[in-house]
Structure 1
């Protein structure tokens, strides 16, 4: 059974309490999801490190229940203001 959007969102919010999270079902079999996560936790991390943090938050369920997962990660704009 595919992991539903609310379950994905719950696991991500548990790992990143400050995050803005949007989960979107993508066209296909119903097992395709897009997730946009904005969190201060991503500051100073490479895109690969950010994505690894998300997969860790999903506690291994991603390989069993959702395929594929399209990730978009970002740091809040307030963190970027004042930097050049």
Structure 2
């Protein structure tokens, strides 16, 4: 499985886990729905910035979108804010 296919599968899985439509996710990430659809189908390779934007909207860390065997019920996939250090 290529990194593009892994990202595509994880993007769809994470979007479904958040019960978001492609349209809603695209709106939150400030991109076109057809682009989100193409990413989920593995037609395009996402830039680092796109991975970061989508991860933020899905409340995960960007690297989690590239994990080969990501399980959205896996306890290692915590919301992004839970992993951020607390400031003073």
TM normalised by structure 2 equals 0.30
**Richer in helix (by share):** 2
Q: Higher strand proportion, which one? A: 1
Question: So what's the TM-score if we normalise by structure 1?
Answer: 0.31
Specify the structure having the higher radius of gyration (Cα).
1
